[in-house]
Amino acid sequence: MTSMGETDVLDAERAEEIKLLANEAFKANKFSQAIELYSQAIELNGLNAVYWANRAFAHTKLEEYGSAVQDATKAIEIDPKYSKGYYRRGAAYLAMGKFKEALKDFQQVKRISPNDPDATKKLKECEKAVQKLRFEEAIAVHESEKRSIADAIDFRSIDVEPQYNGARIEGDTVTLDFLKKMMDDFKNQKCLHKRYAYQIVLQTREMLRAMPSLVDITVSDGDHFTVCGDVHGQYFDLLNIFEINGFPSQENPYLFNGDFVDRGSFSLEVILTLFAFKCMCPSAIYLARGNHESKSMNKIYGFEGEVRSKLSDTFVELFAEVFCCLPLAHVINNKVFVVHGGLFSVDGVKLSQIREIDRFCEPPEEGLMCELLWSDPQPQLGRGPSKRGWAFLLVQM
């Protein structure tokens, strides 16, 4: 028989062996496997801060920032002087756009490890972001007093240079011929003239503003309707969808269910193509807001930088404004509820409550709108905290 003390030693040794296996899985980019192995190590020895911090890092790689914050916090509770705990939590907060929380953690890392160059870099990044945030808060005006950037743009006054040989919109009508030319230009990495880009985005804005937060769609018997998930700036994937399934049209309608932008290198091309189809035939394509149609996500995950480099700062503001006009959910034939995120942290939410949401704003950090955009499924029954740090994990019962 082994004594309790011997058992503890054996568990600690076995936990260390499993941690090394988890590290190997992490190096091989097998982050889910690494999380499972770190969890086994924690089961055997839950008082080792390294295991918690390492699992937090793996969660961060899977963009499960809520879980990363929880694990890093546990590492800090076990060892308040363990700098990596603060570093991992700060990195997760940074990825979530929670700059003030991240700043506190990186300040703590700096105190514990003053010569850590990575921490110094992250600290400066946070300080800059918080400074900008405070400046924006200081000059912020109430939503009702804000002047729309769209109202200040007159695309008709923008001249098109004679040497421009790309796609052109004649008058106010977006045609399929224009779309095919524009899409072909995008395939060859040519830019659309900003006059026409403004025209497409502004016309789409007018249509979206007039729509309710919850849109009802009717599909007749015998007709088909295509729902597409995240495109995330993968323009050539979008072209493949159209090649396989046909262009959007009255007879071939689509619903693109959010997350059009970020991550991919061609987010601008994706969003302009989807918006142009909306202009060509409003009933051919429906567009729902995803959690990446927001300023904070666009700043972190690439869309803002891409728009700034390909077009201008004005377009960054314009897209942010138009994204706030996107509907939050759709119901098909009074039977199928389609939403980017998921269900709710409370029972009894009615469709009428979703219809009443004032969506013309950046997504809040809690409430129905947040959960519509952020909630995820989970394998267990019931509700749980989100791995990503927003809304809830839910499962259909």
Q: Give 132 or 313, the one with higher predicted confidence.
A: 313
Percent of the chain with pLDDT over 70: 92
CA distance readout (Å), 228 to 274, 326, 393: 12, 16, 22
pLDDT over 90 (residue 366): no
d(CA 197, CA 287): 18
On whether the 4-139 domain is CATH 3.30.420.40, my answer is: no
- Chain CA centroid to CA 79, Å: 33
Active site residue 232: no
Closest CA to 270 of 293, 252, 294, 249: 293
pLDDT over 80 (residue 137): no
Q: What is the mean pLDDT of residues 352-358?
A: 96
**Per mean pLDDT, which range of 176-185, 305-314, 378-387 is the poorest?**
378-387
**232, 292, 330, 340: which one is catalytic?**
292
On whether the 150-340 domain is CATH 3.40.190.10, my answer is: no
d(CA 193, CA 196): 6
| Token output for 310 | 């390909």
Q: What is the mean pLDDT of residues 65-80?
A: 93
pLDDT in tens, 265-312: 999 999 999 999 999 999 999 999 999 999 988 988 899 999 999 999
Q: Give 145 or 291, the one with higher predicted confidence.
A: 291
d(CA 339, CA 91): 29
Question: What string of DSSP letters covers 265-327?
Answer: TTHHHHHHHHHHHHHH-GGGEEE---TTSSHHHHHHHSHHHHHHHHS-HHHHHHHHHHHTTS-
| Token output for 275 | 């918006």
In this predicted structure, what is the pLDDT of residue 397? 40
Q: Which residues of 303-335 are buried (b: 16+ CB within 10 A; e: fewer)?
A: bbebbeebbeeebbbbbbbbbbbbbbbbbbeee
d(CA 199, CA 120): 44
User: 1 falls in which pLDDT band (50, 70, 90)?
Assistant: very low
Dihedral, CA of residue 208, residue 209, residue 210 and residue 216, to nearest 10: 50
Mean pLDDT of the chain: 90
pLDDT in tens, 92-112: 988 887 888 888 998 898 899
In this predicted structure, what is the pLDDT of residue 143? 53
pLDDT in tens, 184-240: 999 999 999 999 999 999 999 999 999 999 999 999 999 999 999 999 999 999 999
d(CA 110, CA 90): 12
β pairing state of 392-394 and 376-377: parallel
Spans of all domains in the chain: 4-139, 150-340
For the entire predicted model, the pTM comes to 0.80
Beta bridge partners of 228: 256
Provide CB contacts within 8 A for 310, sequence distance 6+. Answer: 191, 268
Q: What is the mean pLDDT of residues 7-36?
A: 92
User: 142 falls in which pLDDT band (50, 70, 90)?
Assistant: low
pLDDT over 70 (residue 158): yes
